[in-house]
């Protein structure tokens, strides 16, 4: 028989109470319903004996914390970043809360790539290196890793050898319309971000930086023209490990 005692050991201790007052002005028939039913919220701390103390109007910080809690609860109920089954094999880390994010890995592979005309690189399929992705609802960071093995906590990260990327890995999505709602499950979340990244046009280096071992334009001209697998010799370290990325 399974021992489930530990499932009941968590203690929930009250620390805050809210009292909501509804002020109804029944005698004034010239105001709207919204104006007639004003609300006042009073906040109480909970003392050591479990009694409400320190009554005060609900502060701005308390209101923000309450809104974030309710929003987070709604996201959990709506399935945001929840897996539809077993966790994907390429998932590395998951933080499923209001400001949650996922970190995952993709092996070396061919991807359809799009380049603006001015770069002189044809739009075509090309091999890309193994990658580590970190994404929230409205932001994306990408990195490269060497080899084909799934990264571990100590795996060194490299600059992603693409255009439109800042030194810290953040991706400039330009005018791409990011539309990830609060009901997006984990598998679709990961697939959408990969689609956004490789479905947009690579156009420029950020601040003129080319974070590859060599000329980035020539690199992708050769990758497209030759169809060769991506060589790890083109990658430059950025000083981070996977463990540092998720902290």
**Domain that includes residue 48, residue range:** 11-78
Q: Are residues 148 and 242 in the same domain?
A: yes
pLDDT tens sequence for the chain (247 residues): 444 444 435 566 777 888 888 776 655 555 454 544 577 888 888 777 778 878 888 787 777 777 666 665 555 445 678 888 899 999 999 988 767 899 999 999 999 999 999 999 999 999 999 999 999 989 999 999 999 999 999 999 999 999 999 999 999 988 888 988 877 889 999 999 999 999 999 999 987 767 899 999 999 999 999 999 999 999 999 999 999 998 8
Residue 85 in any domain: the answer is no
pLDDT of 91 reads 97
Q: Does 6 fall in a domain?
A: no
Which of 207, 234, 191 minimizes the C-alpha distance to 84? 191
Judgement on whether residues 130 and 225 belong to the same structural domain of the protein = yes
**φ, ψ for residue 184, nearest 5 deg:** -75, 120
- Do 69 and 141 fall into the same domain? no
Same domain, 47 and 167: no
pTM for the full model? 0.70
State which of 30, 50, 78 marks the end of a domain: 78
Single out the residue in 78, 108, 127 at which a domain terminates: 78
**Backbone φ, ψ for residue 93 (5° rounding):** -160, 145
Do 197 and 105 fall into the same domain?
Answer: yes
Domain count, the chain: 2
Q: Last residue of a domain, which of 78, 103, 124?
A: 78
């Amino acid at each position: 028989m399974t021992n489930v005692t530990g499932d009941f050991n968590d203690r929930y201790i009250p620390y805050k109470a809210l009292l909501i007052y509804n002020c109804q002005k029944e005698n004034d028939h010239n105001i709207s319903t919204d104006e007639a039913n004003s609300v006042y919220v009073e906040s109480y701390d909970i003392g050591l004996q479990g009694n409400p103390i320190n009554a005060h109007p609900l502060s701005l910080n308390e209101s923000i914390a309450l809104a974030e809690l309710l929003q987070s609860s709604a996201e959990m109920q709506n399935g945001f970043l929840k897996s539809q089954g077993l966790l994907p094999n390429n998932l590395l880390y998951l933080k499923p809360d209001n400001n949650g994010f996922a970190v995952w890995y993709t092996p070396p592979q061919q991807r359809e790539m799009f380049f603006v005309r001015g770069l002189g690189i044809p739009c075509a399929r090309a091999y890309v290196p193994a990658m580590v992705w970190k994404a929230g609802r409205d932001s994306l960071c990408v990195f490269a890793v060497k080899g084909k093995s799934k990264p571990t906590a100590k795996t060194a990260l490299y600059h992603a050898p693409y255009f439109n990327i800042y030194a810290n890995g953040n991706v400039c999505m330009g005018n791409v319309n990011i539309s990830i709602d609060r009901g997006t499950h984990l598998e679709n979340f990961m697939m959408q971000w990969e689609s956004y990244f490789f479905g947009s046009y690579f156009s420029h280096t950020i601040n003129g930086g080319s974070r590859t071992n060599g000329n980035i334009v020539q690199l992708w001209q050769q990758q497209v023209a030759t169809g060769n697998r991506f060589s790890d010799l083109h990658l430059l370290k950025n000083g981070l490990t996977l463990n540092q990325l998720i902290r």
